[in-house]
Structure 1
Amino acid sequence: MTAEDLGLTESVSMALGGMIGGGIYAVMGVVAGITRYRTWVAFVAAGIVALCAGYSYIKLNTMTDNRGGSVTFVQCYVGNSDLAGMVGWTLLFGYIGSMAMYAFAFAEFTVSFAVVPASVAGLPLRPLISVLAVAGFVALNLAGARTTGSAENVLVALKVFILVAFGVLGVVYALGYSPASSLRFGVGSLAGFGPVVAAAISFVAFQGWQLLFYDQESITDPEETLRKAVYISIPAAVAIYVLVGVVTVNLAPEALQQHPHVALKDAARTMLSPYGLATAGGVALALSALFSTGSAINATMFSAAHFAKGMLADDLLPDDIGDADADGIPERTLLVIGGVTAVFTAVGSLGAITSFASLAFILIFGAMSLLALRERERDSVNPLPPAVGLVGTAAFLPLMAYNLYTREPGTFGMVVVVALAVVSVELLYFKRDVLEEQVVPIEEERIDDAVDSVTDHVPDAE
């Protein structure tokens, strides 16, 4: 891909595609289940924090000679390779969580078709479909398939068109055909932590734009193009999420209670029923969800594998995971990422997967906001956006944890176990030299003690 291939239009498409790709289909039911008619508030709050984090990325990138993303920023401004590596690992697990979430939603919409059974021989089909989806896109990436900038424009335009059409038709139905002839926004019940908690859980739906920072060599005038792309794509995603959220909670409230993961399909059936197209609308929306979540898996897997390759080159990942000198994406890297993703999506609940992925991006975006805030003395850095990003992510984290603990203790436990496992693996890897220095002397001391003990019990030769 040449630099001319990625101008502003392509960059906006890639950033918007990363956010719109599958997040709206995966998190809508989870968010609406918490906030109902206040769902739009959650998306606005999450979007504001994401936009402030985007500002921090842009400023850090402008001030960094060796341009890159989160890992580069930590290396540059903190000077700690171990911390940079842990940031990279956390971000990589965030991408894996995102793909697991997309694969979960992909399977949910697949089994929503009448011709697809929900179970076979008493076993649920959803985990199998999710794993097969991941395996299929691993194979596709191993074959070297990649969406070019021009194709991404078409794909994103199609996804955005379907969702905007869904929203507009939903508004028309609500105002013209619904018995209430109105839309409810929950304005009278904005108080409370519900929307903030939902914003934290939905935060994963606002990741994807930061991937542009890892491909700056392919972007024309990257500093200016990235700035415009971030400031255009995030507000556009917020607007689409708000529109779709308002329509869904107004037209399919029962579906959000009974089967929230595919509530958008029920809303589509409702809005097209006056035209005799209820079934066609539901099928079209489900197909759109399959297309969007599938393309999101593919794009995230491609970007995550390249991100992992860069970490391999910097010795921030074990060599066993892949060869940094390989042409294209290392096969072992793809297989490892795909394997971990498959495990996540097979055994995890959608709430747990979504919460874990959001947790990862809350931590990383908050850290980048903190770095930018530390550089506020520089003339080009306005401290307000990084401060908002830092405060927002700092508020999201405990509120999300408390919500899971009180409402879904099982999910909370699963998220805690996975998070502790990830942190433990990171510490064991990046502190392996320190641990080795501590373990070796202990082992040598024990050997010496054993030798002395044996020697003491052996009679002296006469």
Structure 2
Amino acid sequence: MGDGSFGLTEAVSMALGGMIGGGIYAVLGVVTGIARAATWFAFLLAGIFAICAAYSYVGLNELATDDGDDDSGGGSVTFVQSFTGNSTLAGMIGWTLLFGYVGSMAMYAFAFAEFTISLPGVPSSIGGLPLRPGISVLVIAGFVGLNLLGTRATGSAENVLTSVKVLVLVAFGLAGVVYALFVSSESVAFGTSRLTSFSPIMAAAVSFVAFQGWQLLFYDQESIADPLETIPKAIYLSIPVAVVIYMLVALVTYNLAPSAIQHNPHTALVNAASTIGGAVGLASAAGIVISLSALFSTGSAINATLFSAGYFAKGMLTDDLLPDRAGDASVSGVPTRTLLILGVVTAAFTAYGSLSAITAFASLSFIIVFGAMCALALGQRDTDRIAAAPPAVGALGGGLSFVLMFYHLYTAERGTFYAVLLIAVAVFAAELLYFERDVLEEEIPYVDHDAETAAD
């Protein structure tokens, strides 16, 4: 059983905070570039996939707990080990998930810098050099430093932080609806002509990284009171709330800031907020509030993801699923070397990548992992814990999203397609070299022996 530190309220805050905490600010511009006025529908589709993946996680967690000696359950790596017995496959899933976390942090850092530059008086460049990459790297370095000092928000603090983030976005959405219905002379565009096309599905695939925060609860089960009951309730509450907020924000932003969506999509929220605030003479103030909220949300998302990714990597070190050089698993807390490696890789991604490329890479990582968990759950459908329909929909959605994501990148962003493909091949090759090292060690002496015989 969990130790009771976190109850349902804290669990909902952690799950909702993990999704709202930076996701909408980072992916909105990328998603609207694909789905346009139907962006709200793309978020709905992504939310359905997330619910199916969450159902699969909950079912696998209950089965894994039943098979074990305690209530600790586990996450993706534990599930693969428990139900397939294949440590190589478990490790590869773990590496993919770890790279997904790195991509998420890089995405948050990119958005943090974009909204920083949108603040009044902040230049976009100095001496002809753009400030965006430097700000992104600095914010990553700052949170790596905080985590090295052992800083972490408590459950009570997370309640407050999440409440503020959610209230700002809900207020923005509701005020935007009032403005669109009673102030604006333009009719509201819902993009109904796009609902039967593939663009919302492709956009849903790109946006999926914004829905991954809920699964972090499975790594904190020892801190949650009655986790087998609390976690499902928290997840099934938090995902629909996140979906509604995303849909509302997308609809308002697209209709109130059409020009910004076209020319400066990453910070279109600021323009939409300024439009709403302008109705009461507070255009600048409203824009600043959204910008500060974005900084707060993306910053806290970096911190929380880095903390969780660090402990996830430590668990993989303990299970010999990462090289020993990546950190010392015997130390208290997250190994310093592990945090530094995560920070350096994230900084490289956010400094040299585009937001669309980073978002696509991170979403692909989570689509692979969550789709695999749905397929794994589908294999356990004969138990009374798991019905077949949700994991089947999740596995199908994951496979379709994966294919459509690559199709979109190949046709619309060829450079991003090749970059993501090269990274994926490099990661897969590194995983095989690491997890099949024992086989290689056995084969190399054999090859050398044959060579010596031929020489004689």
CA distance in 2, matches of 1:363, 1:90: 8
Please, which runs of 5 or more residues in structure 1 have no aligned partner? 453-462
Query: What residue number does 1:351 align with?
Result: 356
Query: What residue number does 1:241 align with?
Result: 246
Query: What residue number does 2:53 align with?
Result: 53
Matches within 5 A, 1:162-177: 162-177=168-183
Query: What residue number does 2:136 align with?
Result: 130
1:148 to 143, 154, 178: 154
Instruction: State the structure with more CA Rg.
Output: 1
Matches within 5 A, 1:114-263: 114-180=120-186, 182-263=187-268
CA distance in 2, matches of 1:47, 1:3: 31
CA distance in 2, matches of 1:158, 1:444: 67
1:448 Cα deviation after fit: 4.5
1:104 to 87, 90, 110: 110
Q: What code does the residue aligned with 2:22 have?
A: G
CA contact (8 A) 2:4 2:226 kept: no
CA distance in 2, matches of 1:170, 1:330: 45
CA contact (8 A) 2:35 2:194 kept: no
2:412 to 407, 411, 415: 407
CA contact (8 A) 2:63 2:385 kept: no
CA distance in 2, matches of 1:372, 1:63: 10
User: What CA deviation, in whole Å up to 9, does each residue of 1:332-370 have, x standing for no partner?
Assistant: 010001110001101111011000000000000001001
CA distance in 2, matches of 1:127, 1:230: 34
Q: What code does the residue aligned with 1:178 have?
A: S
Pairs aligned (count): 449
CA distance in 2, matches of 1:37, 1:323: 49
CA RMSD of aligned residues (A): 1.0
Mean alpha-carbon deviation: is it higher for 146-155 or for 413-422? 413-422
CA distance in 1, matches of 2:121, 2:446: 65
1:439 Cα deviation after fit: 1.9
CA contact (8 A) 1:23 1:102 kept: yes
Q: Does 2:278 match 1:299?
A: no
Mean alpha-carbon deviation: is it higher for 99-108 or for 57-66? 57-66
CA distance in 2, matches of 1:34, 1:290: 25
CA distance in 2, matches of 1:444, 1:138: 48
CA distance in 2, matches of 1:42, 1:188: 13
1:114 Cα deviation after fit: 3.1
1:449 Cα deviation after fit: 4.1
CA distance in 1, matches of 2:93, 2:178: 46
Q: What code does the residue aligned with 2:333 have?
A: G
CA contact (8 A) 1:5 1:150 kept: no
Query: What residue number does 1:26 align with?
Result: 26
Q: What code does the residue aligned with 2:32 have?
A: A
Q: Does 2:342 match 1:337?
A: yes
Percent identity over the alignment is 63
Query: What residue number does 1:458 align with?
Result: none
Partner of 1:188, secondary structure, is: helix
1:4 Cα deviation after fit: 2.6
Q: What code does the residue aligned with 1:371 have?
A: L
2:75 to 69, 72, 79: 69
CA contact (8 A) 1:97 1:357 kept: yes
Structure 1 residue ranges, 4+ long, deviating more than 2 angstroms after superposition: 2-5, 443-450
User: What CA deviation, in whole Å up to 9, does each residue of 1:219-270 have, x standing for no partner?
Assistant: 1000000110110111110000000000000001110111110000000000
Q: Does 2:326 match 1:325?
A: no
With structure 1 as the length reference, what TM-score do the two structures score?
A: 0.96
Query: What residue number does 1:3 align with?
Result: 3
1:435 Cα deviation after fit: 1.6
Q: What code does the residue aligned with 1:445 have?
A: D
Partner of 2:279, secondary structure, is: helix
Partner of 1:323, secondary structure, is: coil
CA contact (8 A) 1:369 1:387 kept: yes
CA contact (8 A) 1:141 1:298 kept: yes
CA contact (8 A) 1:109 1:262 kept: yes
Matches within 5 A, 1:370-385: 370-385=375-390
Query: What residue number does 1:289 align with?
Result: 294
Q: What code does the residue aligned with 2:192 have?
A: V
